[in-house]
Structure 1
Amino acid sequence: MDLSRRTILAAAGAAPAVGGMALAADARADDEAYWARVATLFDPPPPGVIQLENGYFGAMARSTRAAFERNILRVNRETSIYARDAYVADLEAVRARCAKLLQVDAEEIAFTRGGTESMVTLIGGYNRLKPGDAVLYADLDYDSMKTSMAALERVRGVRVVRIDLPEPASRQNLIDAYERALSANPDVRLMLLTHLSNRTGLVPPVKEIVALAKARGVDVLLDSGHALGQTEFTLRDLGVEFAGLGLHKWIGAPVGVGVVYIRKDRIPDIDVSILEAPGNPRIDARVHTGTVNFAAMLTVPDAIAAHEAIGLAPKARRLRYLRDRWAEAIRGHPGVEVLTPPDPALHAGITSFRLTGRTSMDDNRALRARLFERYRIFTIERAGVAKGCCIRVSPSFVNTAAQMDALTAALRDLAKA
């Protein structure tokens, strides 16, 4: 099935048709026949495996993969003839396409090799801290970001405040947790906030927490690595001035493409890379990755086109439906703890669980192995949650209800052991 640029760039208001199939903006999340047809736009996972670890990186649509292969061939054939000339203009077109996706200005984004590099650019480059200030992060933040925030004590001379987010979580107790932390630490000037936790899938009330921080003179660095392509939001609506995002998770770009966003009036607050000349006002000067994967960058518009053809809203609904299919079915079952609350505003597709009392990393590595060896269900263990390690379940929108039911049955079985 060919997902060509002509078929996916349909006229406004018209549902795109792909390979004779209409991609419906109002597709029902529980229409298994429809989503089975969507699944044919992608290469299938290995036979006999239920792939529920789609959070590492996302599969490219067949059309995106084909475009990537064409771009590899071109770059490999033309080498520096292309890279030193036509690529410059082509990259600006890619940047414009990505800015349109994010609903920001093109001069407010720069490409990185992933969400981690985007966030480290912001954390390490933020230059408004002085000795005696404090910075804040939480247990559910990503490992590399927590390490970077902690390093600010050494490199900026600041105090580091770490908090544990409530479990079970609610909209209000999450807001209260940040409010208490900021009230108790009025010297905090910079705060890390994860939009969608890679550990548990928790989505905090970002807009309210950002507003709370701003009212106290605290800048927020938003880690949106998992949120982009999985949830519906705009950075402007959230009131965010600094964010890191990834394109190879839920947008389906080739591995190795991320984006850093800095609102244009705040670009000077992030240091120019030591590899660039001082004083450069462009956001690009904040990131210096050396030679990039030209073909991966060129394929970003194709990935965005495939993503938009399927539709963010239908994808988001489908991911929540698949998550609810297992998480709400097993919630309350003796011996199983579901770590993300049922409130749909506080989760997307990712949710983690643990078996009661099995909180060590060794426990959860063994549990992950049993899920795969006995039931052929592939997941991943996660550490760093205050109340103990867990297993993360991250379905793709092309997983099936039957696969989620298989997970539920497996968990009921494992809880007896």
Structure 2
Amino acid sequence: MDLNRRTLVTGSAGAGLLAMGGLVASPAAASPGRPSKAGNALPKPPKGSPEHVAGQERFWASVARHYDMTDDVINFENGYFGANPKNVRRAFTQATEKIQHENSWYMRREYGSEVEQVRVRIAQEVGASVEEIAITRGATEALQALIAGYNRLGPGDAVAYADLDYDSMQYAMEWLRDRRGVEVIKTNLPEPATRQAVLDHYERLLTTNPKIKLLLLTHVSHRTGLVPPIAAITEMAAARGVDTVVDAAHSWGQLDFSVKDLGSPFVGFNLHKWIGAPLGCGFMYIQEDRLPAIDRHFGDQDYGPEDVRSRIHTGTANSANYLAVPAALDFHAAVGAPYKQARLRLLRDRWVHQVLEVPNVEILTPEDPLTYGAITAFRITGNTTSAQTTAIANYMTDEWGVFTVRRGGVAAGEVLRVSPALYNDVKDADRAAEAIRAAARRFRVAD
């Protein structure tokens, strides 16, 4: 079967200015419409509210041209990692060439100051001071260091996490049982979820478990796309003397916010998902006055105890990845966080609203826009095992050319995650809806 994407979307199921050595793009390169030495002119949104611009297909088609993507399939599995815009690919290639050409001569003399500029840029964009930011190889590394390093726990205390939290973070929380001698409480978020139901859930959890001292929260669930009211939960927890660690792996670049909006002293971020930096880039945030609560990473002595960078030690990382981060931030700033958020929500709404009335399709996020971004998962009633969801995902790809992924770990059963990106269009969303309706018929479970 020919699954060429251009055929599938119309046919039937059967048929930067460079600084310090020429690598780090300056903020000036982010000016909309201004050429960058790392690539062509960056996108410039038309005038209008984010909601108005979200529907301007001509503009988003111009954004899509900044990505070089396969036409073999409609990729609605963009939660794994984010595609790099062309300017980021060029910046990464330039950085790799320079590092290999100048080798340790460059790395020993210039790289340190250049990567420090990257750290400054990240801090500026996320709304933090540079003293609160340390670059990591991803959110998992950042969050594992924050959880393992949190030193305000002892025997008799408890920690808690939820079923929608990321697996690696769950493992780290469980590990605290041995590392700190604490009780570990796993909780299941309500389904179907609402903003108020989630708030009520955490209030009950904290009220009935007064020994809890550390709470893991996820800003955007990688399983279902649910966006809990993080700031309100964090405030509720803090009033009871409970610290929160927030997993923002999926949120920055998908949602429009600054780190201070979360209210949490400890946050882990990815840059290689919705910001579009090369794979293997992230950072941790530690509120400046809370640094003593996190141990130095394996006794790190490269930096002093008052330096946030002593809370993570990665060894020799892929330096070209980090040097391409400013190009990704340039692109993110050029498109604009409010416009990205509105566009991704529009694409989500486009497919969801076409299947809401299908009796055996369960949508795992509520219709409240404050509770979702790009990602939303669905379940075909009765199909809750890995084998069943894998079969549905394969059917959608093989018969409809729509690529999604199954996700386990949800207390009520497995789901299929749909995650559009900026290079997707409304025809892609329509195709996904058509495929889901067909799958609902094909995989209906008899009453």
The alpha carbon displacement at 1:369 in A equals: 1.0
Q: Which amino acid aligns with 1:87?
A: Y
Check 1:366–1:196 CA distance in 2 against 1; reply closer, same or farther (3 A cut): same
Determine whether 1:361 maps to 2:383.
no
Compute the RMSD of aligned alpha carbons: 1.8
What are the superposed Cα offsets for residues 73-100 of structure 1, whole Å, 9 maximum, x if unpaired? 0001111111111111111111110100
Picking from 29, 33, 37, the partner of 1:16 is 33
Distance 1:123 1:11, change over 3 A: closer
Determine which of 204, 210, 213 is the counterpart of 2:228.
Answer: 204
1:16-415 to structure 2, matched below 5 A, reads 16-17=33-34, 22-24=44-46, 26=48, 28-44=53-69, 46-274=70-298, 276-277=300-301, 280-415=305-440
Q: Where does the alignment leave 5 or more consecutive residues of structure 1 unmatched?
A: none
After TM superposition, the score normalised by the length of structure 2 is 0.89
Paired residue secondary structure (1:58) = coil
C-alpha contact 1:25 1:310 (8 A) present in aligned 2: no
8 Å contact kept, 1:25–1:313? no
Any idea what SS the aligned residue of 2:55 has?
coil
Q: Any conservation in 1 of the 2:304–2:310 contact (CA below 8 Å)? A: no
SS, match of residue 213 in structure 2: strand
Amino acid at match of 2:164: L
CA distance in 1, matches of 2:26, 2:296: 38
Contact 2:32/2:335 (8 A) holds in 1: no
C-alpha separation in 1, matches of 2:291 and 2:32? 38
Partner Cα distance (1:5, 1:140) in 2 = 41
Shift of 1:25: 6.1
Whichever residue aligns with residue 120 of structure 2, its letter is A
Query: 2:297 aligns to what SS in structure 1?
Result: coil
User: Cα deviation per residue 1:200-234 (whole Å; 9 max; x = unaligned)?
Assistant: 00000111101000000000000000000010111
Question: How far did residue 292 of structure 1 move?
Answer: 1.1
How far off is 1:332 after superposition? 2.7
8 A contact 1:9–1:309 mirrored in 2: no
Question: Deviation at 1:411?
Answer: 1.1
Give, in whole Å, the separation in 1 of the partners of 2:290 and 2:252: 22
The one-letter amino acid of 1:40's match is R
Alignment check: 8 A CA contact 1:8 1:306 kept? no
Query: Does the residue aligned with 2:261 lie in a helix, a strand or coil?
Result: helix
Report if aligned partners of 1:5, 1:302 keep a CA contact under 8 Å in 2.
no
Q: Give ranges in structure 2 of 5+ residues lacking alignment.
A: 1-15, 19-24, 443-447
> Cα distance, 1:47 vs. partner?
1.6
> Which residue type is aligned with residue 321 of structure 2?
A
SS of residue matched to 1:391 = strand
User: Scaled by the length of structure 1, what TM-score is found?
Assistant: 0.95
Q: How far did residue 275 of structure 1 move?
A: 5.0
- Contact 2:77-2:419 at 8 Å conserved across structures: yes
Aligned residue pairs total 412
Cα distance 1:232–1:323, how it changes in 2: closer, same or farther (>3 A)? same
* Aligned counterparts of 1:409 and 1:237: Cα–Cα separation in 2: 37
Identity of aligned residues (%): 45
Cα distance change on mapping 1:361 and 1:251 into 2, 3 Å? same
Deviation at 1:17, TM superposition (A): 4.9
